[in-house]
Amino acid sequence: MQYFEDIAVGAARETGSHTFDAAAIIAFARQFDPQPFHIDPEAAQQSSFGGLVASGWHTAATVMRLLVDSAIDLEASLGSPGFDDLSWLKPVRPGDTIRARMTCLEKSPSKSRPGIGSARFRVEVFNQKGELVMAFTSIGLMRLRNPASQQE
């Protein structure tokens, strides 16, 4: 995360990548999302997915890690009040490698809280074939490098 002033609307940031394996998919899902098609490979085969798939929350958590790892500077980040429009568009299967792209849609300084700004980002997640597997719009809160500039 950069300071608020460093965010350019329209600019995109690319993350590193992560490859899912079957054991990790099962390990995550047995704790957080124990539906048969996430924890039982044979049941998954009979399901509409036709095989084991990662929990969407496993994908989302992995994307968060990729975003944090790709950040230039975490000092300015103040977390997030939420996100909109989360879509799981394609299943993530064992052996799939995902990466994410985060594009700033808009930003504005806070009117009520001096020294803070918020920005909306579109986050798109692709697999190794370049197919969009997940997307969401997040809101990030961050510090201004120079709070005085907010008045201008």
Partner 1 sequence: MGSMTDLTAADGHRFQAYIAEPKGTPKGGIVVIQEIFGVNGHIRAVADGFAADGYYCVAPALFDRIERGVDLGYAGDDVAKGRALRGQMQWAPCMADVAIAVAAAGSAGRVGTVGYCYGGGVTWLAAAELPGLDASVGYYGGPWAELADRAPRCPAMLHFGARDSMIPVGLADELRAKHPGIVTHVYAADHGFNCDQRATYDATAATTARRRTLAFFEACL
Stretch that binds partner 1, among 18-26, 53-61, 62-70, 73-81 (CB under 8 A): 18-26
Beta strands in the chain (DSSP E): 12-19, 82-88, 97-109, 116-126, 132-143
Which residues between 45 and 74 bind partner 1 (CB under 8 A)?
A: 45, 52
Residues 58, 61, 63: CA angle, nearest 5 degrees: 110
CB of 96 to partner 1, least distance (A): 14
Stretch that binds partner 1, among 12-20, 39-47, 70-78, 85-93 (CB under 8 A): 39-47
Q: Which of 8, 11, 27, 86 binds partner 1 (CB under 8 A)?
A: 27
* Size (the chain), residues: 152
Which residues between 90 and 109 bind partner 1 (CB under 8 A)?
A: 94
Cα–Cα distance between 89 and 142 in angstroms, integer? 29
- The answer to whether residue 147 forms part of the interface with partner 1 (CB under 8 A) is no
Cα–Cα distance between 77 and 73 in angstroms, integer? 8
Collapsed DSSP state (helix, strand, coil) of residue 84: strand
**Is 18 in contact with 98 (CB distance < 8 Å)?**
yes
CB of 26 to partner 1, least distance (A): 5
Name the site residues for partner 1 (rule: CB under 8 A). 22-23, 25-27, 29-31, 34, 36, 39-43, 45, 52, 94
